[in-house]
Amino acid sequence: MNSPHPEHALMDIAARPAAVMVRGSGSWLEDADGRRYLDFVQGWAVNCLGHAHPAIAQALAEQATRLVNPSPAFFNDASIRFANRLAACSGLDEVFLCNTGAEANEGAIKLARKWGRLHRNGAHEIITFTDGFHGRTIAAMSASGKPGWDTIFAPQVPGFPKATLNDLASVEALIGPQTVAVMLEPIQGEAGVQPATLDFLRALRALCDARGLLLILDEVQTGIGRTGTLFRYQAAEITPDILTLAKGIGGGVPLAALLARKSASCFSHGDQGGTYCGNPLMAAVGNAVLDIVDTPAFLAGVRERSAQLIVGLNELVTRFDLVGVRGAGLLLALELGPRHDATALVQRAREAGLLLNAPRPHCLRLMPALNVSADEVTQMLAMLAALL
């Protein structure tokens, strides 16, 4: 395949294939050579409605003719509506709209540290988890437990002791006078789709309540229907004190949110902001996404496709003597075992017209559009079987 842009000025930050993507529709991407790919990555769970969904295109087009960015110094109607809807469906009280998951997580860290200064004698430490991932800014990388990230841009920001997922004793052992919060992903995506059990989430909520700590949930990847409920914490029947959202919340555009209970929301004027934060163009898309995703019928469809995909993947596990399947909704991992090189398999899949992701050496991560069809799931399973 010959790239139509053999020379370009894009910084070399990833090992990208030569293909240049030029259009997409639903579960399909097309490159400049006209080759089509069945996309089960969807921008790392970003395109919750697939590529070029007409509702998103319409929201962008209509809002762009009215108002794009009046500046964060003024209210705008699209962001007010979106924030009110997020508060209502999440059970939280206040919303700060921003652009990326890392930015939302930075905001959560800042909010927790200020809350600790006001209410816990200056406590600032946030217990996070080994193998966690919270973004690529310096503080978010420090909060993350991804192997090797403690040295890339050293020194790290201090104040993020690491516990072990699903081990409540490891969390309790780290709590001290400087502890202000516990922060985690309900499912660790970059670690290979490693779920926190629902019992563990409930136990963390109880522990934080008993010790006067904030519970921060990073639902950047799991939020907005990805796991079959609008938010993963709803499956555990708990509510966090602080919540971060991104990826699917904008259906492909740069949109994120920091949500908090009123009791945890303590920013003063000037503490938080951003030139593009809460701009109506992105908020209009967020409203369009919620119009579709935040309905019982749509979420039931996610669970139906999830059940179909899990059955099919488990058939592959039996047929090819693989290790197993884990995850929830349409955020799933297929653990291949040491006989299979997941990175090589992803490359061969791409050459065959199927886009997959390998977060770990022997693990595939599947993140299709939430409106993927039954036929497309069947087609993906057949393609993967042929590759295996």
End-to-end CA distance of the chain: 24
Which residue of the set 39, 231, 241, 247 is catalytic? 247
Active site residue 218: yes
Burial class (CB in 10 A: 0-12, 13-18, 19+), 268: exposed
Which residue of the set 31, 39, 131, 218 is catalytic? 218
Which residue of the set 133, 160, 200, 231 is catalytic? 133
Burial class (CB in 10 A: 0-12, 13-18, 19+), 29: buried
Active site residue 133: yes
Longest CA span, the chain: 61
Asked if residues 274 and 99 have their Cβ atoms less than 8 Å apart, the reply is yes
Which residues face 214 on adjacent strands?
Answer: 181
Phi/psi at 285 (5° precision): -65, -45
d(CA 29, CA 33): 12
What is the number of residues in the chain? 388
Q: 236 CB contacts (<8 Å, ≥6 apart)?
A: 186, 198, 201, 202, 205
Strands 354-355 and 331-335: unpaired
Number of H helices, E strands in the chain: 12, 17
| Whole-Å CA distances, 254 to 15, 73, 247, 275 | 23, 20, 8, 13
Q: DSSP states of 307-376 as a string?
A: HHHHHHHHHHHHHHT--EEEEETTEEEEE--TTS-HHHHHHHHHHTTEE-EEEETTEEEE---TT--HHH
Residue 86: alpha-carbon gap to chain centroid: 16
Residues 62, 63, 64, 69, Cα dihedral to 10°: 180
Which residues face 31 on adjacent strands?
Answer: 21
Q: What is the DSSP letter of 20?
A: -
Residues known to be catalytic: 133, 218, 247
